[in-house]
């Protein structure tokens, strides 16, 4: 399984980062895992 940071995911999906965060808050996406560096990470 690939791991993407939020910026990579947004770019691949062709949407702004805010859209990915909105989908996460709306529970359309599973909550992102958080790395110790506080970088958003989606698996």
Ordered by start, the domain boundaries in the chain are 1-31
Task: Give me the pLDDT at residue 26, please.
Answer: 94
Please measure the distance between the N-terminal and C-terminal CA atoms of the chain and give it in whole angstroms: 7
Distance of CA 21 to the CA centre of its chain: 7
Task: Give me the pLDDT at residue 29, please.
Answer: 87
CA distance 35 to 27: 20
Paired with 42 in beta bridges are: 4
The pLDDT tens digits along the chain (43 residues) read: 678 888 999 999 999 999 999 999 999 988 777 666 555 555 5
Task: Give me the pLDDT at residue 41, please.
Answer: 56
| pTM (2 d.p.) | 0.67
């Amino acid at each position: 399984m690939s791991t993407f940071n939020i910026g990579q995911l947004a770019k691949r999906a062709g949407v702004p980062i805010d859209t990915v965060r909105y989908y996460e808050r709306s529970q359309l996406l599973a909550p992102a895992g958080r790395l110790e560096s506080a970088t958003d990470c989606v698996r």
